[in-house]
Structure 1
Amino acid sequence: MARHHLTIGMFTDTYLPQTNGVVSSLLASADALRRRGHRVIIVAPGLGEVDEAHPDVFYLRSASFPFYPEFRMAFPLPAKLVANLPRVPFNVIHAHSFFFIGCLGAYLARVRNVPLAYTYHTRFVDYAHYLPVHQRVTKTQAVWISREFCNHCDRVITPTTDVERLLRSYGVEKAIDIIPTGIDLATFAGDGEVPRTIAALQGHPILLSVGRIAKEKNLDFLADAFAHLVTRRPDARLVMVGDGPYRSELEQRCVSLGCRELVSFVGDLPQQQLGGYYSNADCFVFSSKTETQGLVLLEAMAHGLPAVAVDCAVTREVLRSAAGTLTDDDPHAFADAVELFLREAPAQREARRQAARTAATPYSSDALAVVLEQLYVDAAGSFAVAR
């Protein structure tokens, strides 16, 4: 049967130049779907002069969220763009958040009478501490809006079975499709180049952490584990790629632990520059327990970098076979696991690297785009029959 080319609207409240899992997921899906001949229009918050010029990326004016400056609050401006959006011939609309732009996408889906898909990327209850009100109230509200928004969509997508179970516990009744976020190795240009930070540490075992530096990422735990490790492996070094609202507190914790000189804080990097870090580190370390998938784990594995991660439902689902090790939520246990990694013979280490690459293979963005495309086609077909 001939494949129909679709016009897909992706509506998101977080976008470039921010670097996080939602942005990476959206870009990987959009690029893979475009390679398959579909038109993907992205509606996102704009930052003005730094916005990427792309004919199919529409920017709404935005301002920083008062209690979390990295998050942007969008407004229905420019008015001409908002007025013209209902005329865009979308075949399906895919919301990637349930804030203003996500809700705009949901509204347009009803106006255009097309199916609405929604990917639940974030455990919002774990972000309640950013609001200056009692967390019990905000967590209850996060559960309520998650349930209500999902139940008003035509298709709900989660990246793992753990998140599917979470939404069911919230009372989500709609059918849920489990489609992991894919990774596109073509975006990691310059894998053969050794970054200067890594080059300066040659001769030392290098642990790598990639991601937003935020309280909910459990990075105090990682600092504690690293401090334990260096009492036995004083030659070990930790490289942290990323930035965020908790960076100054984390740096101060490293100072208090006596390991600040052994930790390199690189800051945010575009995805194109991450390949050199993944390819030249010795072990990926991952302490977060609030992820919906843990995309950076997959990126590390795809580059042949084995990982040590805190055991939770999501890491258990992603980190399988000899690609890495799961540990208890205990800094001593985590440090022990990393030390065992660093003591492995070269042949065993190479076997782990190959196992990591193999485990990441099913997560190709092109392969998963086929699954997402079929979901869109099925949703559009069901919607047409229902009309």
Structure 2
Amino acid sequence: MVIRPLESARRVLRPLRGARSTSSTTQAPAEVAAQAPPTLRVAHFSDTWLPRRDGIVTVLQTLAGAMDALGHSSLLVVPRHPDLPKDDKNLLQIPSVPIGIAQFRIAQWPRSKHVEKIAHWLPNVVHVHTPGPIGLLGIFTARRLGLPLVLHYHTDLPAYADAYRLPTSVLKAVMGCYAMRLSAPKLKYEKQPNKDERRRSVIDTGTALLFADADAVLVPTPAILNRCGGLPLLADRIYIAPAGVGLPEVPAASRSAFRHEHGVGLDEPMVLFVGRVNREKGIDTLTEAFGHVLKKVPTARLVMVGAVYEKGWVKSLLDKAGIAERTVLTGQLSPDEVARAYAAADVFAFPSMTDTQGLVVQEAALAGLPSLLADPALHASSPIAAAGVLASSDPAEYGQALTELLTDPERRMALGQAARDLARTNTPDEFAELMTTVYGRAVRRAASATRESRRRRFRPSKAKLIA
């Protein structure tokens, strides 16, 4: 395989518009690419991992595999789960307990013994993907070992906090513990007039704490910057790095086979949703909208692929919209089965207003499936979503747009082909090359920092190479 870091650098290593820089001179992309290290050992930290499936898990699996193909090494620091293999040298499993929500597990509080295990692997870059205890461990590790720190802003944190109405007092308590673990001064919050703004203030303060030491911050699309009101960093540390993901190949007969297995007729127009069937994904909009679809297309079917964590809430939505008998809930499926679902569908519905890239939109595009979105920011900035159709988040208008797609096969085919062509330009290999360049720049930024700010506060007792 021919590696083209210069092309990747041109795409990602650019200052944001209107941004301020820390110096009067900016390193040219060609210079950055030329200086990128030939091999990297990257320690990834994520609070979400298999058997749970979500966008972050998909990105991690894809990136680690593509980086390995380029000759780099990846250590995945994740919550321990009884179903995970215990002899995988690429996994460092931190003891964890389930919390009973969305298959999440909370890992042990970051300790020096965890840092020592990571240090034995001899990483030269730390990449933090989530803001939970394992993400905190990543930041703690980077500080202790004096390593360059890359953070990924995958999730629209304020939107999720609002969707689940997380109490401000709980958020403050968590952030207070984080500040103590990082030896930071006591956090101070601005006074706000209502609960929503107070919650947002706590999240913004916590984000500033966690991102303070970052040598590079990755965002999948500009949409997240607009939503979060900006990150507490100078813009020359922020990189737009859309993830490239693939889709398993499936037999030509997958369309009929999937439909038969899930009770969907071959002649029934099928609307597909893939993702967690949760509040933050716009499920209430989709169910009400599909009720409007059935008034015009009574033979249509809605298939929702993904874990259902609030079964009572979902059932109430289906009953209220009068679509229970025309809806199929498959639960969480394997990647191969999800690929078969895409092959079986006619339209992909993605009404989420909280996603930062919408990797499932790329998967649908690779299957030649047209997508209907509701988030104008995502539609405008995602590398794939722009090939889809944008509708209002109003259920009646979203339902009308779905109906128009279901009843116009020629338009669906044209949109699906355009989406597939665009998706094929955003590959996992190119994503890995792009990340190699960003890691290289983070390494050089860390190396140029003052010795005092990067001093090694911790050394492993017996450093050795694990893999």
Q: Using CA pairs below 8 Å that are at least 6 residues apart, which structure has the higher relative contact order?
A: 2
Say yes or no: does 1:164 pair with 2:214: no
* The 10-residue stretch of structure 1 (131-140 or 195-204) with the greater mean CA deviation from structure 2: 131-140
DSSP 3-state at the match of 1:41: strand
- Structure 1 residue 302: Cα displacement: 1.4
For the Cα contact (< 8 Å) 1:106–1:116, is it kept in 2? yes
Supply the RMSD in Å over aligned alpha carbons. Answer: 2.4
Question: Where does residue 367 of structure 2 map in the other structure?
Answer: 303
State whether structure 2 residue 345 is matched by structure 1 residue 281. yes
Please point out which of 56, 71, 74 is paired with 1:37: 71
Q: Is 1:179 aligned with 2:218?
A: no
Residues 138-174 of structure 1, C-alpha deviations (whole Å, 9 max, x = no match): 3322221122212221110000012133455353335
Please report how far the alpha carbon of residue 89 of structure 1 lies from its aligned counterpart in structure 2 after TM superposition: 1.0
Q: Distance in 2 between matches of 1:287 and 1:278?
A: 17
- Could you list the runs of 5+ residues in structure 2 that have no partner in the other structure? 1-33, 169-194, 452-467
Counting matched residue pairs gives 383
Equivalent pair of 1:229/1:339 in contact (CA under 8 Å): yes
- Secondary structure in structure 1 of the residue aligned to 2:103: strand
User: Can you list the C-alpha shifts for 1:107-150, whole angstroms capped at 9, x where unaligned?
Assistant: 21122222100000111112225466255343322221122212
SS at match of 2:390: strand
Whether the 8 Å contact between 2:56 and 2:129 is mirrored in structure 1 is yes
Mark the CA change 1:328 to 1:168 in structure 2 (over 3 Å): closer, same or farther. closer
Task: State how far apart, in whole Å, the 1-side matches of 2:424 and 2:353 are.
Answer: 24
SS in 1 for 2:296: coil
Structure 2 residue 125 is the aligned partner of structure 1 residue 92:
yes
Q: What is the CA deviation profile of residues 330-356 of structure 1, one whole-angstrom value per residue up to 9, with x for unaligned ones?
A: 11211111111122244x432222101
Cα offset, 1:71, TM superposition:
1.9
1:46, distance to aligned residue in structure 2 (A):
1.1
Aligned position for 1:119: 152
Q: Quick check: 2:258–2:344 contact (8 Å CA) kept in 1?
A: no
Q: Which residue of 2 aligns with 1:268?
A: 332
Deviation of 1:320 (Å): 6.4
- Aligned counterpart, 1:61: 95
Structure 1 residue 268, shift from structure 2 partner? 0.4
Q: Is the Cα–Cα contact under 8 Å of residues 302 and 356 in structure 1 kept in the other structure? A: yes
| Structure-to-structure mapping, 1:200-239, within 5 angstroms | 200-201=263-264, 202-239=266-303
TM-score normalised by L of structure 1 = 0.91
Question: How far apart are the structure 1 equivalents of 2:152 and 2:312?
Answer: 32
- The more displaced of 199-208 and 48-57 is 48-57
CA contact (8 A) 1:294 1:315 kept: no
Letter in 1 for 2:419: A
In 2, Cα distance between equivalents of 1:321 and 1:45: 32
Q: Is the 8 A contact 1:16 1:51 kept in 2?
A: no
Letter in 1 for 2:226: R
| Shift in Å, 1:385 | 3.4
Equivalent residue for 1:198, pick from 249, 259, 265: 259
> What's the counterpart of residue 380 of structure 1?
443
Aligned residue runs from structure 1 range 107-146, under 5 A: 107-128=140-161, 129-130=163-164, 133-134=167-168, 136=196, 137-146=198-207
Letter in 1 for 2:279: K
Q: Residues 110 and 136 of structure 2 are in contact (CA less than 8 Å); yes or no, is this contact kept in structure 1?
A: no
The superposition leaves residues 36-91 of structure 1 with CA deviations (integer Å, 9 ceiling, x where unpaired) of 1101000000112444752111101111236x352211015998655322232111
> What TM-score do the two structures reach when normalised by structure 2?
0.76
| 1:83-105 C-alpha deviation (Å, 9 max, x unpaired) | 32223211101000122111111
List runs of 5+ in structure 1 lacking aligned partners.
none
Does the 8 Å contact 2:255/2:345 carry over to 1? no
Highest Rg: 1 or 2?
A: 2
> What residue number does 1:14 align with?
48
Given that residues 76 and 82 in structure 1 are in contact (C-alpha distance below 8 angstroms), is that contact kept between their aligned partners in structure 2? Answer: no
Q: CA deviation at 1:319?
A: 7.2
Q: Which amino acid aligns with 1:71?
A: F
Distance in 1, Cα, partners of 2:117 & 2:96: 19
The answer for the alignment partner of 1:103 in structure 2 is 136
Task: Give me the identity figure in percent.
Answer: 30
Cα deviation for residue 376 of structure 1 reads 0.7
